[in-house]
Amino acid sequence: MCAPEYFAVEYAINPWMDVTTGVDVVLAVKQWDRLRDTLVGLGHEVHVLTPQAGLPDMVFAANGAFVVDGTVYGAQFKHEQRAAEAAAHRAFYQEHGWHFIAPSETNEGEGDFAYLPEAHGGLVLAGHGFRTELLAHAEAQEALGRPVVSLRLVDPRFYHLDVALASIDDGNVAYFPGAFSAASQRVLTQLFPDAVLADDEDALAFGLNLVSDGANVVLNSEATRLAGKLKAAGYTPVPVELAELKKGGGSVKCCIAELRP
């Protein structure tokens, strides 16, 4: 995770960002602190990346890389405003001894990649259409040695896979069908017949931008119906409020890069 000390909406690179809307940095830090404390309270270890002035979106740490079994596939951001973040993430992983593979293709880390180790023997779901290039899916497959299923995003409000779909345990997902092309919807139905489906209201509340340890699901507090569906499916919803960070187009998952040794 990376604290939002320099968080601001200084540019608009997704439909949620409005440069005329003010950001309360003190409140953003408080909400981020609660998210970190929630994870620690659930028994998880949190590493913190040092934020850098001039990179207001560094709080969205999930976009910096994608990690599977100790191998790190680095990010190459689409927009120049975020390009310098990639080096900060690379330095973190290399300093901690991770095997880092630099990308040649545009991709935004866990923003557009999700890993399910028990789905069909180990499967990477990968989004494209707005931020990550389709060629990056093939590059990730070679880097990580895992089969990659490409899913086409068609609604600009769901510009990353992680605002439209989330792994809720090692073999299942929750997602919003309307974010995907008709063909990708059919693929998801075949792969995950027992998936938890979100409605448009909860999806637009960033409810799917969640993290799950297979039992506890930390998600945006606004996504009340999705929380109910997750509870009915046997999970424990853990709501957190991240309204200030939502102004940048992200929520729980965007703030968390998952480390998979």
Catalytic residue among 2, 128, 137, 254: 254
Catalytic residue among 89, 128, 137, 160: 160
**Residue 140 near residue 172 (C-beta atoms within 8 A):** no
SS (H, E, C) the chain: CECCCCCCCCCCCCCCCCCCCCCCHHHHHHHHHHHHHHHHHCCCCCCCECCCCCCCCCCCHHHHEEEECCEEEECECCCHHHCCHHHHHHHHHHHCCCEEECCCCCECHHHCEEEECCCCCCEEEEEECCCCCHHHHHHHHHHHCCCEEEEEECCHHHCCHHHCEEECCCCCEEECHHHECHHHHHHHHHHCCCCEECCHHHHHCCCCCCEECCCEEEEECCCHHHHHHHHHCCCEEEEECCHHHHCCCCCCHHHCCCCCC
CA-CA distance, 242 to 232, in Å (whole number)?
24
CA-CA distance, 177 to 182, in Å (whole number)?
9
79 in catalytic set: no
Residues designated catalytic: 160, 254
